[in-house]
Amino acid sequence: MSVALKGIKVIDLSRILAGPWASQMLADMGAEVIKVERPKKGDDTRHWGPPFIKPAQHGQPAQAAYFHSANRNKQSIAIDITQAAGQQVVKDLIAHADVLVENYKVGGLEKYGLSYQQIKSINPKLVYCSITGFGQQGPFAHKAGYDAMIQGEGGLMSLTGVSDGEPMKVGVAVVDVMTGLYSANAILAALFARTHTGQGQHIDIALLDVQVATLANQGMNYLATGENPTRLGNGHPNIVPYQTFATNDGSLILAIGNDHQFEKFCNAAGCAELANNALYQSNQQRVENRATLIPVLANILAQKSTEYWVKTLESIAVPCGPVNNLDQVFSHPQVQYRDMVQQVPDHAGVMIKTIASPINLSATPLQYKHAAPNIGQHTEQVLKQFLNYDDAQVNALFKNHIVET
């Protein structure tokens, strides 16, 4: 069966999460992704545990679950790019590639002769994606960027948390993940553009830009009013009621999106008078008067179980659901039906669980070929099969510790 990115070759010089997330998406779609890592240490996230998928063994460090979340379906080649011979190996890889992904600090690859300006003549058709904290130009371009600091600097933390509590970051590194998604989209657009321009291009993706762009409705709320949005806990700034409520045995997320749904909810909950109250008849009125409405609804919903409310409200098409922990998520019948957990073999054939991509293509489905690789697992294979190096060239690189397995 064919894959969407058949024949596309990607050199992955990125570490941590945003870049690897983008290149894993390309790998899932069928691209051949070669991950270039530091000898012995590899990607920083290999060490970000516990928990670990594998213990340290045979000269390999323990492999963190974090690393495995973003590096399946890739080959790993361990190259010392601080050495001229190692830089030449990367340049040879670039000459055969369609895409390069990197997340060094601005100017960080110049000292190795691997910046876009330095290598574009090697392969004018190369799509070169640079991911940084703050972008390639500007007064903060020199700064490193990490997800949590960008959640703070980019405004997301000011919107997250309860109104009288401290600003909070989201429990997943969403800026990195969204940056990976934007990067993969940009790479695909550049590959498509290449079909009619014949040329590659440089992609400049910044975590801060991504965070500002994904402020979405909250960002537009600010531009419309000039007022900083306040933290509302699990409430919604533009829709009421649209938040979590305590039940008598857990929590319920109630997501009422229009006036008709509110009326149906009130009838089912035995509070039809609220739907007829002039203070709450329209969403605008409910947003303006949330301070008086929400306590009344909270008292009603606290009287019965989460299961009761879910069954009752789903039967009349009022959007709602339980607040699940991850054990409940991965045992959820729909999650299981959608095969959102896959099993992939490691280099020894041991099966490892991985979370599937949400992308489902009918004619060119994604593939889950193998787990994240060991450091340098494919070094010799890549040198011989991808670059057509002969035995003497390969042996010289190993002898001089330019490459390692």
Residues with active-site annotation: 176
d(CA 24, CA 32): 10
Short-list 350, 344, 278, 363, CA closest to 72: 344
Amino acid symbol at 182: Y
Cα 270–Cα 271–Cα 276 angle in degrees, nearest 5: 140
Strands 201-206 and 242-246: unpaired
For residue 100, list its beta bridge partners.
11, 128
Short-list 141, 208, 140, 149, CA closest to 178: 208
Contact indicator for 47, 236 with CB cutoff of 8 Å: no
Tell me the two tokens of residue 125: 């058709």
Report whether the peptide linkage leading into residue 51 is cis, meaning its omega lies within 30 degrees of zero. yes
Task: Tell me which H or E stretch contains 103.
Answer: none
- C-alpha neighbours within 13 Å on the C-beta side of residue 75: 19
Tell me the two tokens of residue 243: 């938040």
Secondary structure (3-state) at 146: coil
d(CA 283, CA 288): 9
Distances (CA, A) of 83 to 88, 190, 331, 397: 9, 31, 49, 11
Supply φ then ψ for residue 75, to 5 degrees.
Answer: -100, 150
